[in-house]
Amino acid sequence: GENVEQHPSTLSVQEGDSAVIKCTYSDSASNYFPWYKQELGKRPQLIIDIRSNVGEKKDQRIAVTLNKTAKHFSLHITETQPEDSAVYFCAASRDTGTASKLTFGTGTRLQVTL
C-alpha cells in the first residue's frame, strides 16, 4: 500500500519568513495530493491540493509543488503569520473512480513566532 513520509516533524519560523514542508510517497499510481491544517482540538481543514497532471498550484500565500518522477511534493507558506501556527498533514490518494482513501503523513508542527 501507499506510504507517505513527511519532514520536518517540527518547524519554527519567525513571522514574515517562509516555511517549507516536504513529503514523499511510494505508490507511483497516486494522483491526488491534498494538504490539511489542523489546529489543536479542531478538525483537519483542507487548505490546498494538487493533482498529478499539474506541477504547481498557488493560492495567495500558499503553494504546493509536485515532482512525479521523484515522488515528492512540498507545501510552501510565504509571509507566515501567527495564525499559521498549527499541525500540517500531507496526504496521497489514488482515485480510481471507486476508491480514493487518503494516506497521511505524520504531520509537521509549525510554530510562527513574533
* Interacting residues with other proteins (CB under 8 A): 6, 32, 34, 36, 42-46, 49, 89, 91, 95, 97-107
- By C-beta, is 13 or 102 nearer to other proteins? 102
Decide whether 78 or 104 has the Cβ nearer to other proteins.
Answer: 104
Q: In whole angstroms, how close is the CB of 75 to other proteins at the nearest point?
A: 14
Cβ-proximal residues to 99 (8 Å cutoff; 6+ apart), any chain:
none
Q: How far is the CB of 97 from other proteins (least distance, A)?
A: 7
User: What sign does the dihedral 91-28-19-113 (CA atoms) show?
Assistant: positive
Residue 94: DSSP 8-state: -
Which lies closer to other proteins via its Cβ, residue 77 or residue 87?
Answer: 87
Closest contact distance (angstroms) between CB of 86 and other proteins is: 13
Q: How far is the CB of 98 from other proteins (least distance, A)?
A: 6
Tell me the CA distances in angstroms from 97 to 25, 35, 38, 54, 85, one per residue in order.
Answer: 20, 21, 27, 19, 35
Nearer to other proteins, 18 or 54 (CB): 54
CA-to-CA distance for 71 and 66, rounded, in angstroms?
A: 8
